[in-house]
Amino acid sequence: MTELSPIRIAFLLFPDVTQLDLTGPAQVLSRLGNATVDLVAKTADPVMTDAGFALLPTATFADAVQPDILCIPGGFGVNDAIEDDATMAWVARVAPGAQWITSVCTGSILLGAAGLLTGYRATSHWAQHHLLSEFGAIPVKERVVIDRNRATGGGVTAGIDFAFTLMAAIRGEAHARLVQLSLEYDPAPPFDSGSPARADAATLARYEAMAARAAPGREARTRAAAARLRAG
Amino acid sequence: MTELSPIRIAFLLFPDVTQLDLTGPAQVLSRLGNATVDLVAKTADPVMTDAGFALLPTATFADAVQPDILCIPGGFGVNDAIEDDATMAWVARVAPGAQWITSVCTGSILLGAAGLLTGYRATSHWAQHHLLSEFGAIPVKERVVIDRNRATGGGVTAGIDFAFTLMAAIRGEAHARLVQLSLEYDPAPPFDSGSPARADAATLARYEAMAARAAPGREARTRAAAARLRAG
């Protein structure tokens, strides 16, 4: 076997992250070959996710090794993360040295707030997708968008498609196909309600009500972050 | 809003679990409404997964609350788990009180070894699927199989389809459609190599070689577990 070049992937880990935004692509990318996965947080303490259990950081902002791939997951905690200076300082510090600057779900809102999507095509969770342009990004309604070294995925489960696409770009399609087989990634959703284009009106209305309760004011906070970016 | 009845889901957490076998369905099932997710392990120490980072138990065999849904994930560590008396004793203790006895990926091999699939239709990761019959289960080549209160999913990513199917059975299809929209579960694999029926021969051969290196003797160990079950 040819030895693959070592590659280090760092996921930002913050409170109230949508855990599958992180753990889905982490599963795929851990099989890049000769890969190291870091979960990087402000402190070494466990970080509570949206799913009712915590994830354990492998490194902190102070001691994390420079990653080759930086990946920002999303979730209702993303606005708090954007408003946290230490978090944004770490992203600003490591992004220039990363080969790939990436996100899943509303992680792209954080990349945008860091000024890392200005002039780049990008995607996000469908419910926040319209806010990408606030940060000077070019919103694209695709599940995975690659523009130069920026790779962004849509909402939550899109992180798996994102990771396979990125894997093929880095290690080639034959490697990605092997990992797809190992993870039996042959999805068969029992219903067809995974996009706002096909969900029925009642489901869409229930989602909007749920999101408003779970993260009141998130749109205003995102717009305020965009205003701060524009103000420099 | 009508208050949904409380429901508690316990995932068995063991060393070298395939982390997405657990975290995929945990993400979906955490949105059952009024749900508690437990990750139950032998001790409270972090448990290393196959993806290079640990998961943190929320409970131990000694203190875990009786779950309504028991879910066994899979992975290359499953044979060690089967050979661990404390692990199998916990499964045997809580299964009779669970409303649903479930697995993802090769977790069904552990359920089989515990005698919990005898006479039940079930599925597993494609590479271990042929071993289900060793435990008296009726192997079905489907991504999700429900037979009475047993629900089993195929390999790794099938855990997401499994969880949506189970959610609809428990909370109804309208609730499952809402969660599908929230998780943007509208998968679009960039390649078509997620099942042995469609992967090419070279990819299949590379998988078999990789699995033989990663878990030498796993088939013999699984057959030995089946022999022990038959011997009572």
Say which CATH number the domain at B49 has: 3.40.50.880
A207 contacts on B by Cβ (under 8 Å): 178, 181-182
Question: Is the residue at A194 inside a domain?
Answer: yes
**With 60 as the cut, is the pLDDT of residue A1 above it?**
no
Question: Is the residue at A1 inside a domain?
Answer: no
pLDDT of residue B3: 82
Tell me the shortest Cα–Cα distance from B82 to chain A, in angstroms: 21
Question: Is the residue at B209 inside a domain?
Answer: yes
Active site (annotated) includes residue A71: no
Question: Is the residue at B166 inside a domain?
Answer: yes
Flag if B187 and A190 touch (Cβ within 8 Å): no
**Interface residue of A125, A173, A175, A191 to substitute, partner B, most B CBs within 10 Å:** A191
Question: Is the residue at B147 inside a domain?
Answer: yes
pLDDT per residue over A20-31, tens digit each? 999 999 999 999
Flag if A27 and B174 touch (Cβ within 8 Å): no
- Interface confidence (ipTM) of the complex: 0.96
Which one of the listed residues B26, B64, B70, B105 is annotated catalytic?
B105
Count: domains in chain A: 1
Question: Is the residue at B86 inside a domain?
Answer: yes
Question: Is the residue at B70 inside a domain?
Answer: yes
**With 80 as the cut, is the pLDDT of residue A2 above it?**
no
| All residues at 6 or more sequence positions from B83 whose CB lies less than 8 Å from its CB, including other chains | B221, B225
Chain A / chain B CB contacts < 8 angstroms:
223
pLDDT per residue over B46-93, tens digit each? 999 999 999 999 999 999 999 999 999 999 999 999 999 999 999 999
Domain extent for B180: 7-231
Question: Is the residue at B2 inside a domain?
Answer: no
The enclosing H or E element of B139 equals strand B138-139
